[in-house]
């Protein structure tokens, strides 16, 4: 069984790394528009119900820990 150990180079060497990114001109970031329609409603729902529910659970957990350790 003969195995060919000499293989060709697949990609460029590390000396060429970042060549294309360095050549491209710098462009300023564009302003993002606000989502509208159901995407905006989805963000509102997550902001008002999901995260506030998690925060209230964390607050209740911390309150229980405080009562357990400091109030006797």
* Position with higher pLDDT, 15 vs 2: 15
Three-state secondary structure call for residue 1: coil
Task: Pull the structure tokens for residue 15.
Answer: 């000396």
Write the pLDDT tens digit of every residue in 4-28: 566 666 666 778 888 888 899 999 9
Tokens encoding 62: 């911390």
Q: What is the DSSP letter of 34?
A: P
User: Is the pLDDT at 2 greater than 80, yes or no?
Assistant: no
Q: What is the pTM of this model?
A: 0.35
Beta carbons of 34 and 40 less than 8 angstroms apart: yes
Q: Which residue do the tokens 């180079």 mark?
A: 9
Closest of 23, 46, 50 to residue 35, by C-alpha: 46
Worst-scoring range by mean pLDDT, 35-39, 41-45, 50-54, 63-67? 50-54
Alpha carbons within 13 angstroms on the beta-carbon side of residue 61 total 6
- For the stretch 37-50, pLDDT in tens is 999 999 888 887 77
């Amino acid at each position: 069984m003969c195995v060919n150990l000499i293989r060709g180079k697949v990609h460029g060497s590390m000396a060429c790394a970042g060549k294309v990114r360095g050549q491209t001109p710098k462009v300023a970031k564009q302003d993002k528009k606000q989502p509208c329609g159901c995407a905006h409603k989805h963000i509102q729902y997550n902001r008002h119900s999901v995260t506030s529910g998690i925060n209230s659970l964390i607050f209740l957990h911390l309150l229980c820990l405080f009562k357990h350790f400091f109030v006797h």
